[in-house]
Structure 1
Amino acid sequence: MTYDTNRHTIRPALRRAARAVALAAALFLPAAVLAAPAQAASSCTVNGVPVTSTVIRGTEAADTIECSSGVAADTLVEALGGDDTITLAGIVAGRVRGGDGADRSTLTSGELTGDLDGQMGRDVFEVRGPVKGNIRGGQDDDDIHLYGNAPVGPAADVRGAKGADKITLDVGADVDGLVEGNDERDEIRVLGTVNPSGKVHGNAGPDFIRVHINRGIVDPRPGPGDDCMVDVGNPCVPES
């Protein structure tokens, strides 16, 4: 009788290898589960009281909310009712909502990569840092001011939304993304440049648009009584 030594040697080796793989999987699976990232909390103050959470809320009265170290992507800052003052610095990657009332939201430094939404009431926005996310005035007559160190990035959307809104972009706040008024009579002034990828839309309502240098698209959109002017570059034309 012939005895196959190779077969009897290989099979135990394969069984040992299979047990080793199974043991390794059992050891590493819990570590992988434990390594799953948790939601990142943010640290702010609400009326002088420190709050660290993924949801930071004000009250139905007038609140002062300060987030000096940024807002993480998983964080919601919600001022709720009242005429609130919201002061932000650092990288604002989460969502910031003014709620009801005439709110004032200020980005003193850093950059906006998340969402800033005034919601109800006549809100004021002052932005002193690059806009790579979204700014939305909300449901009333809002004032959005982007200073010279607040350019609008290619993926950004700055919109007044409902109401007769005023949107001002200082020299240096060039537009590579979208700036739009939306409903009612909006006033949009770009004192710098709309770059080739940039767009300025008036949308519904008799809008006033003034752009200093236009290398992109400035379109008042349909609406009787639009007043659109470009100092240098491409004229105001409907986007095809």
Structure 2
Amino acid sequence: MEVMIPNEMRFRLDGAILFYRRWSEYGYSYSAHNAAAVLHKVNENGSLAPGRALDMKALEYFFRNSNGADKLKFQDSRILARSYDGIVWYEKSCLAPIYFQIDREKEPGRAILNKLSGRQVMWPPLLFMIANGTLRCRALRSNRRPTPKTKLYIAPLTHISETDGAVCLPEGLRIDRRNSLEENMNLVSELFYQGKFGHATHSMQQIEHPGGHDGFWIKYLKKKKHDRFPVELLKSANQTLGDLLK
């Protein structure tokens, strides 16, 4: 194959990178752990020579540095870590409304939260991670920039796993693989706080309060003034930021 461009420079096909994804009856797996890239040289007759596997770091370096395309970019100060398929950032405590949508027929005892939905509260500082298309969320006790030794806490919200922080995405929020990690980060930052928290999940004891999740939020939402979130009530996730990054 020959390629011609306007300035009459000539290019010949020298190699090809083939991508493989794990296939099953359910279709392709889009996890980075189920993908492989193989570099093949091209023989004189145009056929592909035996290939050699490329790890993701080599592949990323190849594409970022092609034709000098790897340029310095300004990094948002919220970003704590980034790789080719993952990003970790934090959001400081902020004043914003919180929304609830409880099914009155299935959980009539929790319906009072619907009446309190939309009230402004101080949210706790939150830490987010997007990796392999999954969003995870933990809480923090301070607005200070976290370090690898910073302890993480369970986010006192439904739809978030107490075990690993995996988030059941609220309506309207989707992690789009066609977007850059930074674009998805900004979508989460904007839309996560607009999501509606509904059905009971896990133990419902995500926070150190006698009434558990619902008891805490009912009391907290009835306060007239919200100048800080009571971070001393957050429950430990038995995890540090360094653990999360492993």
On whether the aligned pair clears a TM of 0.5, the verdict is no
TM-score (norm 1): 0.23
Larger radius of gyration between Structure 1 and Structure 2: 1
Return the structure number with greater relative CO, CA threshold 8 A, min gap 6.
2
TM-score (norm 2): 0.22
